Amino acid sequence: MLIGIEAGIMVLSQKCPNLGCRVPECKTSQWFECQCHGSQYNRVGEKKGGPAPRGMDHFPAVISPAGDVSIDTGTFVSGAAIGVNTTGQEAEGPHCTGGDEH
């Protein structure tokens, strides 16, 4: 299970697990898309396409009853294995990397 998703929050690493490039959000597809080698990830960082070996890495996060967000940057959680798709989210529109929808 993805840590923090039950509370509605995912704290993803900005680094692509392929070669460490920064992975920006693509506004049109609503995915994260690496401009270096074309890897694509859904909203929770699960790999949807490209050469990356796994999904985006993330950090555990908790929302307190008072609404405070606590992020554990000392605990690194490796990204989901290829093929994991907990959300069923497909691209909402055209990709920024020019890749095909997977």
- Both tokens of 49, joined, read 């396409």
Predicted pLDDT at 5: 62
In this structure, the number of other CB atoms found within 10 A of the CB of residue 25 comes to 14
What's the pLDDT score for residue 13? 94
Predicted TM-score (pTM) of this structure: 0.84
Query: What is the per-residue pLDDT for 7?
Result: 65
Residue-level pLDDT, tens digit, the chain, 102 residues: 455 566 678 899 999 999 999 999 999 999 999 999 999 999 999 999 999 999 999 998 888 888 888 899 999 899 999 999 988 889 999 999 865 544
Compute the distance between CA of residue 37 and CA of residue 2 in angstroms, rounded to an integer. Answer: 25
pLDDT of residue 1: 43
